[in-house]
Amino acid sequence: MSASSGQNGGTKPWGGRFSEATDPTVERFSASIHFDKVLARHDIRGSKAQARMLGRAGLISDTEAEELVGGLERVAEEIEDGTFPFDPALEDIHMNIESRLRTHLGAVAGKLHTGRSRNDQVATDLALFLRDVSLATQRGLLELRGVLLERARENVDTVLPGYTHLQRAQPVRLAHHWLAHIETLGRDAARFRDARARIVRCPLGAGAMAGSTLPLLREETAAELGFEAPTRNSMDTVASRDLALEYMADAAIAMVHLSRLAEELVLWSSSEFSFVELADAYSTGSSLMPQKKNPDVPEIVRGKSGRAIGNLVTLLTVLKGLPLTYNRDLQEDKEPLFDTVETLRDSLEVMAGAIATLDVRGERMAEAASDPMLLATDLAEFLVRAGVPFRDAHEVVGKIVGHVTREGLDLRSLSKNEMQGFHEAFDAGADDLLDLERSLESRALAGGTARVRVEANLEEIAGELAAERAEIERLEAEAAR
């Protein structure tokens, strides 16, 4: 690769087509090295596979292939130890690596790009990157769910109000509440697992958009890089970014779920709730008010969910008007993708830490759950068991609630006679009919908050997480080889 240069100092390191150098403002505008250096490890891996394939195909000698692989390993060491001289004038990580390889090896470095375009090179790097980060995200979701599982085990006997419309609704075990978030985050993990399962075809060898006249060994390169097969259509290969979109969509959903969990921590840590207290390590103070202890970590997670959603919309918007095949607009895929990966990774980590270390104020939760109004539905269902149609039972209990509310009475204070004044089927006073523990234990249907169901779910989920952990560790070991 010769480089043309002009008086403005710009360079075109990928060919001799141009007689005029790139304007420095264009270099700054189009450069991506400041963010796509994230792909360095994946680019080198793909390039090593490319070099070995060229040797096996007879397009370069075995000695040249070995030189290229050795030179790439030397470049990788420089990147790892921080001595690599990144040059913005070389535009992106791909050209930076190849230029550095030329410094080490001379002219033979120019043979590495035989039969390859930056289009299929970038697509390969992204596929390798997405495969790795999808697995890492599964790991992060697993760790958070593990923390929630441990907190649930600790709080089977902790009871608090469940809420609808942010109004006290019915009593539940805190373990049941934590398990609800585990279910949600488990579906998130499954989405990343499914997305990773679709990254099975290798882009390398698709060329700029139509393949190559050279006898490239695409199947062998795909196998070396851990793919099942090469991509089937060269045009789709370099034009599509739906794998990145899928990761970002899955991440946006996961961040929304983290935001909902974070919102509860913000509410629960307020003086009005006082259900939990975040550890000092996951809180901050006020610059003015010395008494404040602010739940900044969950607040930031809640805020960053908007960032992940915005990143997804950014890439959707970039892609929506592009014709086949490659267009330079596609460079705009990386910043939102990398930002989303980092945002989700960090959010999972800090939420796991915050939940693992928070103090549960069980007495305050129990006090809130002792509100007899939380058991009003139990009164309606008592009437149903006595043969009263539910709509009628609902109306009767509604009248009881309206009465005690207007009179400022405790629901439990109504005698048997007073209860029968609303409906003859009541056979006891409200205090005998309303029992918190009985209410919890009577909800023993699948998915309910009875102890037997909660404890069974704890064991079932523990087994699922153990199996998932073993699978992730197997895949991580494969990726490390």
- For 412-442, write each residue's pLDDT tens digit: 999 999 999 999 999 999 999 999 999 999 9
Does the pLDDT at position 3 exceed 50?
A: no
Q: Can you tell me the distance from the alpha carbon of 2 to that of 21, in angstroms, rounded to the nearest whole number?
A: 13
Buried b (16+ CB within 10 A) or exposed e, 177-194: bbbbbbebbbebbebbbe
Tokens of 172: 């539940």
Nearest-10 Cα torsion for 172, 176, 178, 182: -150
Q: Are strands 167-173 and 159-164 parallel, antiparallel or unpaired?
A: antiparallel
Q: Can you tell me the distance from the alpha carbon of 254 to that of 138, in angstroms, rounded to the nearest whole number?
A: 11
Q: What is the pLDDT of residues 204-236, one digit of tens each?
A: 999 999 999 999 999 999 999 999 999 999 999
Q: What is the pLDDT of residues 143-161, one digit of tens each?
A: 999 999 999 999 999 999 9
Q: For position 113, what pLDDT does the model report?
A: 97
With cut-offs at 50, 70 and 90, classify the pLDDT of residue 25: confident
Q: Can you tell me the distance from the alpha carbon of 274 to that of 363, in angstroms, rounded to the nearest whole number?
A: 10
Q: For position 14, what pLDDT does the model report?
A: 53
Q: What is the pLDDT of residues 346-362, one digit of tens each?
A: 999 999 999 999 999 99
Alpha carbon distances (Å) from 114 to 13, 59, 102: 16, 8, 14
Q: For position 480, what pLDDT does the model report?
A: 85
Q: For position 443, what pLDDT does the model report?
A: 95
Domains of the chain in start order, with CATH, are 31-114 (1.10.275.10), 119-217+228-365 (1.20.200.10), 371-441 (1.10.40.30)
In the DSSP assignment, the letter for residue 112 is T
Q: For position 7, what pLDDT does the model report?
A: 35
Please confirm, yes or no, whether 61 is among the known catalytic residues: no
pLDDT > 70 fraction of the chain, expressed in percent and rounded: 96
Catalytic-role residue among 30, 61, 286, 415: 286
User: Mean pLDDT over residues 281-305, rounded?
Assistant: 92
Strand (E) positions, 24-165? 159-164
Q: What is the pLDDT of residues 175-211, one digit of tens each?
A: 999 999 999 999 999 999 999 999 999 999 999 999 9
- The secondary structure element, H or E, covering residue 247 is helix 242-268
Q: For position 353, what pLDDT does the model report?
A: 98
Q: What is the pLDDT of residues 35-81, one digit of tens each?
A: 889 999 999 999 999 999 999 999 999 999 999 999 999 999 999 99
Does the pLDDT at position 6 exceed 70?
A: no
Please confirm, yes or no, whether 423 is among the known catalytic residues: no
Catalytic-role residue among 19, 165, 271, 287: 165
Closest CA to 183 of 446, 470, 402, 472: 446
Closest CA to 93 of 128, 54, 145, 133: 128
Q: For position 111, what pLDDT does the model report?
A: 98
Q: Which residues contact 340 (CB under 8 A, 6 or more apart)?
A: 247, 248, 251, 252, 307, 308, 311, 312
Does the pLDDT at position 2 exceed 60?
A: no
Q: At 6, is the secondary structure helix, strand, or coil?
A: coil
Long-range contacts from 93-97, C-beta under 8 angstroms, 24+ separation = 93/32, 93/33, 93/36, 93/37, 93/38, 93/39, 93/40, 93/43, 94/43, 94/118, 94/121, 94/122, 94/125, 95/13, 95/14, 96/33, 96/37, 97/40, 97/43, 97/44, 97/47, 97/72
Q: Can you tell me the distance from the alpha carbon of 58 to that of 364, in angstroms, rounded to the nearest whole number?
A: 75
Q: Can you tell me the distance from the alpha carbon of 82 to that of 10, in angstroms, rounded to the nearest whole number?
A: 25
Closest CA to 353 of 296, 303, 268, 292: 296
DSSP string across 291-326: T--B-HHHHHHHHHHHHHHHHHHHHHHHHTTPPSS-
